[in-house]
Amino acid sequence: MPLWFVRGLRRGVVTTRYPARPDPSASALPTPPAFRPDALTGEIADALVATCPSRALARDGDALLFDAGACTTCGRCRDLAPAAVAASGEFELAGTSRTALCKRIPLAGEVRR
Amino acid sequence: MIALILFAIAAGGWAAAALTGLLTTTAGGAVMRAGCGLSVLGGAAVLSGGVAALVSTDSAVVSPGGSVVVGTLQVQATSLSGVFAVLLGVVAIGIGLYLPRSGKEPSGGTAVYLCAYNLALLASLAVLAAGGVVTFLVAWESMALLCYALILHRPRSREVASGAFWFLALSEAGFVLIVAAFAILATQTHTMDLGLIAARAHLVPGAWRDAAYLLALAGFGFKAGLVPLHVWLPVAHPVAPADGSAFLSGMITKLGVYGIALFAFRLLPGGPAWTGVVTMAIGALTAAIGILYALGERDIKRFLAFSTIENVGIIVTALGAAMTFLAYGQRALWAFLLLAGLYHALNHGCYKTLLFLEAGVTEHAAGTRDMDRLGGLARMMPRAGVIAFVGTLGIAALPPLNGFVSEWLIFQGLFQGFRTGSHLVAILIVLAAGILGLTGGLAIYAFVRGYGIPYLGMPRTRQAAAASERGQPVAGPALLATACVALAVGAPVLLVGLARAVRTATGVALRPVLLPGKLTVIPAHLNFSGFSPTYLAAFLVAITVVPVLIYLAGRPRAGSVVVPVWDGGMLAFRPRMQYSAMTFSAPTRVTFDALYRPSVSVQRASDDPAGRSGPVHYETAATPVFERYLYRPVIRAVEWLADFVRPLQSGDVNLYLLYVFVAVLVAYLIAAL
Amino acid sequence: MTTEQAAAAELRGAIARQFGRSLHIRTLDTGSCAACEQEIRMLAAPHYDLNRLGFFFTPAPRHADLLLVTGPMLRAFAVAAHKTYDAMPGPKLVVATGACALGGVYEPDSFSYGSVDAVLPVDVWIPGCPPSPLALLQGLLVAVDRLAEKVPRLSFVAGGPS
C-alpha cells in the first residue's frame, strides 16, 4: 500500500488546470468538422448529407446546414471529402440556445451569385 | 400518619370502584364511568399519600386489627414505598381516565375485569403499605391472582389462556422463593415486623443473609422481569387488554423492583460487594437482552413488553451498583444511585403506561397490533400521534424529556466506579455502563422503528388508512404525557422530594450535594459533572424556535410548490414498498444472530433461479432460547419427577394404611429418642 | 441594452451568485448507451476533478440544483423524468448532453421522443458523442455563468473566424 503513495508523490499533480489553462490532452479529442466553402460543391454537399448517420447535415438550396448538436464526430464526412472537410479542433461547444448550434455554411460558387 | 390515612381513603375508593364494577352489566355505561371515576379518585388519594410518605420520615407500624385467616394486619408508610405509591397513583389516574370508552356499552367480561382491576390496585397498595411479613405475602399473592384474572378476559382463546398461565406459573415460582427469603429473615430475627427486621438485620449470620438476598432477588426478579425469569412478559402482555398490559408493565413489574429495593436497601443493607456486582450484572444483561429481543418484534405490545424488560434491567443495574458502592464505603454514591434508580422507575412507569394505552387506542382504531399493517397513523389520528411521540421521546431517553434525565443520572453514577478502591470492581462497573450504553443506542433505534413504522409514512393496509380516533380516549394518555414533560422540566423539584425519601431510607443527606444551585443536578460528588434539565429544556426550545423565527422573517417571497414525495421516480409506488418493521431492524438481527438463532424457511413454486416462477413463502423466527433451553428441561424434569412419584398414589387403600402405620412408627421412634 | 438583454443579464448574475461557488448535480439517464455516463463518471476522477470547481454529484433530486440529462428521452422514462424534475426545488437548471439528448441520433418515434426538450425545459446544451469531460466541464461552467459560451461565435468554416 505505501508503494502507490510513493509513486503518486513522484508523479506529481495530475489534475488538469482547465479552465485556467488549456489541457494538453485536448488536441487529441475528436471534434466536429470545419468546412471549406471553396471546396464545397453542390454534389459534394449532397454526398455529405447522405453519408452523415445522425442527420447533422442538410442541404438548404445554396447552403449546407450543419447542426453541431447532432454531430457524433464519427468522421465519415471527413473521410468522404477530405478536401472540403477538416477537423475543427473545437470541443467547447456548450450553448444556451439550441438554434445557435445550427450553422449555415455557404456552398462553393454560390457566394458569387 | 397522613400517608396512612390517605392510603386508607384510596383503599376505600378502590373497593367501592370494584363493587361498582361488578354492577356494570346490570346498570350500564354510566355506572361504569362512575366506577372509573372512583378509581381515579383513589389514584389521586394514593398519589397524595405517596408524596406525604416521601417527604416525611418513616412512620411506625400500625396494626389495625386482623383475622385468623390472614394474621395480624400490619401497615406502615415508608418513604421507599412512598415513591412507588406515587407511581401507583399516576398509573391509576391514567388508566382510570382511559377505561371508559364513549359509545361502547360494557359487556359481561368488563364487569369481572373492572372488579379485578380495582382489587388489584388495592392489593398493590397493600403490598406497598405492608409493615409485616404476613401482610406483605398475603397482599403479594392476592395481587398476583387478581392480575391473573385481569389478563384472562373474554373472548377466551388459546393464546389468552396460555399467556395468563405463564404469568401465574412464574408468579407462583417467584412467590415460593419470596416466602423462603422472608422465612429466613423472620426466623433469624425472631419477628414478623418489617421495621424490626430492618433494625435487627445485623444479627443475621452472613451466609443466611446472602441466601435470603439471593432468594429475594430471584423471587422478585420473576415479577420484575429479570432475564431469564422474564418469559411471562412477552406472552402475557399481548393477550391482556391494553389497560391491563399498561398496569402490568407500569406498576406490577415495579412492585418486583420494590421488592428488590426493600431487601437491598431496607432489610439487608450493607451486604458484601459480590451481591451488588451480581445484581448489577443481571441488570445489565437484562437490559441488553430485553432491547435486542424487542428489535425482532412486529407486535406492538410484545415490543413494548421487551422494552419494559430493558428498563427494569436499567433500574436493577442502578440498584446493584448502589449496593456495590456501599460495600466500598461510598455512601454518597450509594444514595445517589438509589435515587437515580427510583427516578427511572417513576419515569418508566409514566411513559410505558402511556405507550401501552396508545397501543390500545391504535388497536381499537386500526384493528391490528402488527406494525407492518399500520402506517401514517400520525395523520389519521393526530392527537394520538403527538401523545405517542412524547412517550417515545421519553422512553428512548432523548433530551429534554424525563427518560434522558434519569438515564443520565444513572450513567453519571456508574462512571464514578473508579471511586471504589478495587480495580476489578471498577472495571465491572464500567462494563455495566458500557452495556447500558449499547442498550441506550439500541433503544433509540428500536423506538425510531416503534414510532416511525406505525405512525409515519403511508398506511400499509386499508384498515390502517381507515383508522380514526373518534371515540378513543385521549384524557388519560394526555395526562400521562403532560406528566412526562412535567417530570422532565420540573426534575429538580422531584429530585428534592426523592432526596428526602432517600435520606430517610439510607441516612445519607444528599440534597446539599445534589442540587447546590436551584436548578443544576450534581451526581453525588462536586468534582465530577453536573447538568440542569430545566436549562437544557429551555435551551432546546430556544434553538428550535430561533431558526424558525429567522426563517419566517427572512424567507424568500416566492411561492412554494407542493409536489409528491420523491419515490425514486417509480411509476406506481405502493405503500407496501415502504420500510417494514422487520427490514428496519434487519442490521441488528444480522449482527446479533448468535443470540436470535433465526430459523428460516423458504418455499418456492419451483427452483427456477430467475425467481419469476410464482409466489415465494418466506418465514423466519427467532429461536426462543430461554423457553427451549431453560424452561422446557425444567418442565420435563418436573414431569419426570411427578411420574416417578406417581406410584405412591396408587389408589390402593391397603398401601395407604401401610403409610399410616409407617408414619405412626416413625413418630414413636422420634419421640422415644 | 434592451429590457430583454437587461433582464437576461440580471438573470445570469443571479445564477452566478446562487450557483457559482457550489452546485449539486443530479445525473439522469433517459435511455442512453452509457458512453456519456462514462465520461460523466470520469469528471470525479483525479484528472478532471470537478469538486475543485465546486461541483458535486448528488443522488437525491431534493438536494440537486442541476439536472444533467443524457439519452434520447425514451417514452417509458417520461414519467420518471417529470417526477425527478418536479422533485428538484427551484431555482434549478437542466443541461442536456450528448448527441442523443440534443435530438441528433434518433427521430421521434414509438419508443422515444428523440430529444430531451420534448419533456423537460433545457437551459444548456452540450454536444458530443460522447462529450469529453473537458467539454462537460465547459458546459457546466457555462451553465453557472462562470465561462462565456463560445458556440455563437463559431462558424465551423475552416480558415475563417473560429
Rounded Cα–Cα distance for residues B163 and B142 (Å): 19
Residues of B in contact with C60 (CB under 8 A): 566
Measured in angstroms, the CA of B569 and the nearest CA of chain C are apart by: 4
Check CB contact of B644 with chain C, cutoff 8 Å. Answer: no
Number of A to C CB contacts under 8 A, please give it. 147
Q: Beta-carbon neighbour count of residue B127 at 10 Å? A: 25
The neighbouring-strand residues paired with C55 are C23
User: Which residue has cell 427451549?
Assistant: B628
Residue B36's pLDDT is 86
The three cell numbers of residue B531 are: 447538568
User: Which residue has cell 463559431?
Assistant: C154
Interface subset of A 25-64, CB within 8 angstroms of C: 25-26, 29, 32-37, 54-56
Residues of C in contact with B571 (CB under 8 A): 79-80
Measured in angstroms, the CA of B590 and the nearest CA of chain C are apart by: 27
Measured in angstroms, the CA of A73 and the nearest CA of chain C are apart by: 7
Rounded Cα–Cα distance for residues B279 and B231 (Å): 19
Enumerate helices (H) and strands (E) in chain C, giving the number of each: 4, 5
User: Which residue has cell 395526562?
Assistant: B479
Rounded Cα–Cα distance for residues B33 and B660 (Å): 58
Measured in angstroms, the CA of C99 and the nearest CA of chain A are apart by: 5
Which of C47, C127, C128 is closest, CB to CB, to A16?
C47
Which of C62, C81, C90 is closest, CB to CB, to B566?
C62
Residue B671 has pLDDT above 70, yes or no: yes
What is the DSSP secondary structure assignment for residue B609, as one 8-state letter?
Answer: T
Phi, psi (rounded to 5 degrees) for A79: -65, -35
Rounded Cα–Cα distance for residues B305 and B90 (Å): 20
Phi, psi (rounded to 5 degrees) for B102: -65, 140
The three cell numbers of residue B229 are: 425469569
Domain boundaries along the sequence of chain B: 276-301+319-552, 626-672
Contact between B571 and C80 using a beta-carbon 8 Å cutoff: yes
Contact between C90 and B558 using a beta-carbon 8 Å cutoff: yes
Quote the longest CA-to-CA distance of chain C.
47
Contact between B569 and C79 using a beta-carbon 8 Å cutoff: yes
Residue B73: band (very low, low, confident or very high) from pLDDT cuts 50, 70, 90:
confident
- Using an 8 Å Cβ cutoff, are C155 and C161 in contact? yes
Q: What is the pLDDT of residues B145-187, one digit of tens each?
A: 999 998 887 677 888 899 999 999 999 999 999 999 999 999 9
Check CB contact of B561 with chain C, cutoff 8 Å. Answer: yes
Highest mean pLDDT out of A71-80, B104-113, B476-485: A71-80
- For chain A, first and last CA: distance in Å? 71
Rounded Cα–Cα distance for residues A75 and B640 (Å): 92
Residue C11 has pLDDT above 90, yes or no: no
Rounded Cα–Cα distance for residues C61 and B444 (Å): 29
Residue B311 has pLDDT above 70, yes or no: yes
Q: How far is CA A3 from CA A7, C47, C80, in A?
A: 6, 20, 46
Rounded Cα–Cα distance for residues B530 and B515 (Å): 9
- Pick B65 or B336 by higher pLDDT: B336
Mean pLDDT score of chain B, rounded to an integer? 87
Structural domain count, chain A:
1
Rounded Cα–Cα distance for residues B455 and C149 (Å): 52
Burial C96-129 (b: 16+ CB within 10 A, else e): bbbbbbbbbbbeeeeebbbbbbebbebbbbbbbb
What is the DSSP secondary structure assignment for residue B577, as one 8-state letter?
Answer: G
Rounded Cα–Cα distance for residues B242 and B238 (Å): 8
Helix axes B300-327, B331-366, angle to 10 degrees: 180
Name which of C33, C126, C154, C162 to mutate to probe chain A: the one with the most chain A Cβ atoms within 10 A of its Cβ: C154
User: In terms of Cα–Cα distance, which of B390, B383, B419 is closest to B404?
Assistant: B390
What ipTM was assigned to the predicted interfaces of this complex? 0.87
3-state secondary structure of B136: helix
3-state secondary structure of B427: helix
In a domain, A75, yes or no: yes
In a domain, A97, yes or no: yes
Rounded Cα–Cα distance for residues B132 and B54 (Å): 20
- The helix (H) or strand (E) run that includes residue B534 is helix B533-554
Residue A78: band (very low, low, confident or very high) from pLDDT cuts 50, 70, 90:
very high
Q: How far is CA B330 from CA B318, B413, B547, in A?
A: 14, 11, 46
Rounded Cα–Cα distance for residues C136 and C131 (Å): 6
Residue C126 has pLDDT above 80, yes or no: yes
Compute chain C's Rg from CA coordinates.
16
List CB contacts of B33: < 8 A, sequence separation 6 or more: B100
- The helix (H) or strand (E) run that includes residue A43 is helix A42-51
Burial B88-97 (b: 16+ CB within 10 A, else e): bbbbbbbbbb
Closest alpha carbon within chain C to B559:
C90
Which of B558, B561, B569 is closest, CB to CB, to C83?
B569
Task: Look at B74-83, B517-526, B646-655 and tell me which has the smallest mean pLDDT.
Answer: B517-526
Residues of A in contact with C131 (CB under 8 A): 91, 93
Residue B102 has pLDDT above 80, yes or no: no
Mean pLDDT score of chain A, rounded to an integer? 88
Residue B87 has pLDDT above 90, yes or no: yes
Measured in angstroms, the CA of C87 and the nearest CA of chain B are apart by: 6
User: Which residue has cell 406494525?
Assistant: B371
The three cell numbers of residue B638 are: 418436573
What is the DSSP secondary structure assignment for residue B99, as one 8-state letter?
Answer: S
- For chain B, first and last CA: distance in Å? 53
DSSP string, B428-471: HHHHHHHHHHHHHHHHHHHHHHHHHHHHSS--SSHHHHT---TT
Residue B611 has pLDDT above 60, yes or no: no
Looking at this protein, which amino acid is placed at residue A47?
A: A
CA dihedral over B145, B146, B150, B154, signed as positive or negative: positive
Rounded Cα–Cα distance for residues B401 and C84 (Å): 39
Closest alpha carbon within chain B to C87:
B566
Contact between B569 and C60 using a beta-carbon 8 Å cutoff: no
Residue B198 has pLDDT above 80, yes or no: yes
Neighbors of chain C by Cβ distance (3+ pairs < 8 Å): A, B
Residue A113 has pLDDT above 50, yes or no: no
Contact between C151 and A72 using a beta-carbon 8 Å cutoff: no
Residue B573 has pLDDT above 90, yes or no: no
Q: What is the pLDDT of residues B473-483, one digit of tens each?
A: 888 888 888 88
What chain C holds in terms of domains, given with CATH numbers, is 18-147 (3.40.50.12280)
Tell me, yes or no, whether chains A and B touch by having 3 or more C-beta pairs under 8 A: no
Rounded Cα–Cα distance for residues B348 and B406 (Å): 10
Q: What is the 3-state secondary structure (H, E, C) of B42-95?
A: HHHHHHHHHHHHHHCCCCCCECCCEECCCEECCECCCHHHHHHHHHHHHHHHHH
CA dihedral over C58, C62, C66, C70, signed as positive or negative: positive
Residue B65 has pLDDT above 80, yes or no: no
Residue A112 has pLDDT above 50, yes or no: no
Residue B569 has pLDDT above 90, yes or no: no
List CB contacts of B64: < 8 A, sequence separation 6 or more: B73, B75
The three cell numbers of residue B95 are: 388508566
CA dihedral over B603, B609, B613, B615, signed as positive or negative: positive
3-state secondary structure of B113: helix
Residue A110's pLDDT is 52
Residues of C in contact with B567 (CB under 8 A): 83
Residues of A in contact with C155 (CB under 8 A): 103, 105
Residue B613's pLDDT is 66
The neighbouring-strand residues paired with C97 are C126
- Supply the CATH number for residue A70's domain: 3.30.70.3270
Residues of A in contact with C157 (CB under 8 A): 34-37, 105
What is the pLDDT averaged over residues B243-269?
91
Residue B259 has pLDDT above 80, yes or no: yes
- Using an 8 Å Cβ cutoff, are C130 and C36 in contact? yes
Residue B291's pLDDT is 95
Looking at this protein, which amino acid is placed at residue B552?
A: L
Rounded Cα–Cα distance for residues B494 and B134 (Å): 33
Check CB contact of B563 with chain C, cutoff 8 Å. Answer: yes
The three cell numbers of residue C104 are: 441528433
Contact between B571 and C87 using a beta-carbon 8 Å cutoff: no
Percent of the residues in chain C that have a pLDDT greater than 70, as a whole number: 98
Residue B616 has pLDDT above 90, yes or no: no
Q: Beta-carbon neighbour count of residue A87 at 10 Å? A: 15
- Using an 8 Å Cβ cutoff, are C82 and C113 in contact? no
CA dihedral over B77, B78, B84, B89, signed as positive or negative: positive
User: Which residue has cell 431517553?
Assistant: B397
Distance of CA B209 to the CA centre of its chain: 27
Percent of the residues in chain B that have a pLDDT greater than 90, as a whole number: 42
Domain extent at residue A98:
32-113
Which of A15, A19, A103 is closest, CB to CB, to C156?
A103
Contact between C90 and B569 using a beta-carbon 8 Å cutoff: no
Residue B422's pLDDT is 87
Residue B258's pLDDT is 95
Burial B269-306 (b: 16+ CB within 10 A, else e): bebebebbbbbbbbbbbbbbbbbbbbbbbbbbbbbbbb
